[in-house]
Structure 1
Amino acid sequence: MTFKIRTVIVDDEPYSREELKHLLGSYEEVEVVAEAGSAEEGLEKILFKDPDVIFVDMEMPRMSGTELVEAVHKLKRVPLVIFATAYPDYAIKAFRLQALDYLLKPFSDDELADTMSRVYKSMGTDVPALRKPASSEKLARLAVEHQENIIYLSPDDILYASAVEGETAVVTKERRYISKSSLKDLEQKLSPHHFFRTHKSYLVNLRAIKQLIPWFNGAYQLKVHGADEDIPVSRNYIKALREQLEL
């Protein structure tokens, strides 16, 4: 297929740019022709690349996403604008700026699919409807942060994930990484890879479990290969866990 939707992503958070590029990679018609870490850089890329669609973060240092879009509206050919932000309160402002859609972080496969369907409709193309990735489709890699870099982990290398004090951690044998996704979002992504929710704050790779230890009041603790931490198992989850582990 020769038809391409030329796209530019503007966001000052490298993780968000990488995550959005990863999700857009599910759609063969979409070509990310440029990305920018600031609104000023984004304006330059938009002028140079002449994209069909731009994804723009609202909150950025110095020049905001709304200021960028106001500048873009002065161009001879104005691309479709999709705001991608963590702040739901800006929706009204986004649509006043004639944005086609408004995506909230962390990005959802289903919401992005709906957005891209609107893109097709607005462009008046006869390209077949975009598919929504099936919930059973396996994740290739999980993006996490380490020392300001984006690291892609194989699900098989992940021992467990935890949500403690507002921070989501992903633990391997080598180190502990930080994820911008919620534990609920990770559960959806990793469930096809034999991960199990043992506690409201823990998600565990079933293949890494080596020992189940009675604790108190019907609760248990887990030990996993390659990690020192004892992982709690709520009594509400213990029956389903044992069914997963035992013959």
Structure 2
Amino acid sequence: MIKPIRTLVVDDEPYSRKELIHLLKEHPAIQIAGEADSGEQAVVKCTQLQPDVVFLDIEMPGMNGLEAARALQQLKKVPDIVFATAYPEFAAEAFRYEAVHYLLKPFEEGDIAVTVSRLEKALKSFPEAAIKHSGKLAVEHEGDIFYLDPNDILYVTREEKTSKIVTMEHEYEVKTPMKELEARFSEFPFFRIHKSFLVHLDYINKLTPWFNGAYQLELKGRKEVLPVSRNYVKELRQQLEL
């Protein structure tokens, strides 16, 4: 079995976005991690989802695809980029961002197949058996070192210069930054709901509308409520709901 290529599809036109997703799903190597309708949203979702590749439209209102590609180069994990556009004249500039491929609309099945093949070679997909199994998180508490299974962690929050790791039974404080913890948990179902909160999706019990499009979140077995920033609400619901 081949490790799936986590893919984000970005296009401000819903029909074009859905068509591309449909064509990509025909290839077992591709796993659709999410979708976005603007360059700004693409940057946010790449930070959250850390996809392997982004299919990126160019002509979009606000931040266009080229500007989004430039912003993506600054991320800790830089995804591969496939530009997908109706305008061939942007090709020369697009390849300055080391694009894997440049797809022209309307999309053709043959072109999609070529693109997926290039992605497989570029990402050097390998058998799942060869994937390094995720270990446990070592945290020091009262002089002892505890090894936490990430699936036992309900959420992580950042308070000033300390990250607090919350399980059902205990809370641990570590100096490790949130971004580093999020990267370590990339193989597990964690989701950033706020700049200061990272939550295990399996423990989410309830979402309640709050104000200005934000929500509050309740976890199984916990009394506290956590804030969900409005920028993360839509993608969170997509991750949670059938």
TM-score by length of 1: 0.50
Equivalent residues of 2:11, 2:37 under 8 A apart = yes
Post-superposition CA distance 1:52-102 (Å, at most 9, x none): 000000000011100000000011111110000000001101111111110
Unaligned runs of 5+ residues in structure 1 are 128-247
When residues 96 and 2 of structure 1 are mapped into structure 2, their CA distance, relative to the original with a 3 A threshold, is closer
Partner of 2:103: 103
- The residue correspondences of 1:48-67 to structure 2 (distance < 5 A) are 48-67=48-67
> Structure 2: which amino acid aligns with 1:17?
R
> Structure 2: which amino acid aligns with 1:49?
L
Post-superposition CA distance 1:177-201 (Å, at most 9, x none): xxxxxxxxxxxxxxxxxxxxxxxxx
**Cα distance in 1 between the residues matched to 2:32 and 2:82:** 14
Post-superposition CA distance 1:152-171 (Å, at most 9, x none): xxxxxxxxxxxxxxxxxxxx
How many residues are matched?
Answer: 127
Post-superposition CA distance 1:86-126 (Å, at most 9, x none): 00001101111111110000001001111111101111124
**Cα distance in 2 between the residues matched to 1:125 and 1:2:** 6
> Structure 1: which amino acid aligns with 2:32?
V
The two structures, once aligned, show a CA RMSD in angstroms of 1.2
> Structure 2: which amino acid aligns with 1:7?
T
TM-score by length of 2: 0.51
How far does residue 24 in structure 1 lie from its aligned partner after superposition? 0.7
Partner of 2:24: 24
**Cα distance in 1 between the residues matched to 2:44 and 2:6:** 15
> Structure 2: which amino acid aligns with 1:41?
Q
- The residue correspondences of 1:135-214 to structure 2 (distance < 5 A) are none
**Cα distance in 2 between the residues matched to 1:46 and 1:60:** 17
- The residue correspondences of 1:51-90 to structure 2 (distance < 5 A) are 51-90=51-90
> Structure 2: which amino acid aligns with 1:30?
I
Post-superposition CA distance 1:112-161 (Å, at most 9, x none): 1111111011111247xxxxxxxxxxxxxxxxxxxxxxxxxxxxxxxxxx
> Structure 2: which amino acid aligns with 1:6?
R
**Cα distance in 2 between the residues matched to 1:2 and 1:101:** 21
Partner of 1:12: 12
Partner of 1:92: 92
Post-superposition CA distance 1:183-228 (Å, at most 9, x none): xxxxxxxxxxxxxxxxxxxxxxxxxxxxxxxxxxxxxxxxxxxxxx
Structure 1 residue 119 corresponds to structure 2 residue 119: yes
**Cα distance in 1 between the residues matched to 2:12 and 2:68:** 13
Partner of 2:224: none
> Structure 1: which amino acid aligns with 2:95?
F
How far does residue 2 in structure 1 lie from its aligned partner after superposition? 6.1
**Cα distance in 1 between the residues matched to 2:25 and 2:124:** 22
**Cα distance in 2 between the residues matched to 1:76 and 1:49:** 12
Post-superposition CA distance 1:3-55 (Å, at most 9, x none): 21100011000011110011011112211111011111111111100000000
Equivalent residues of 2:8, 2:34 under 8 A apart = yes
**Cα distance in 2 between the residues matched to 1:89 and 1:35:** 25
Q: Which has the larger radius of gyration?
A: 1
Unaligned runs of 5+ residues in structure 2 are 128-242
Q: Which runs of 4+ in 1 moved over 2 A?
A: none
Equivalent residues of 2:2, 2:125 under 8 A apart = no
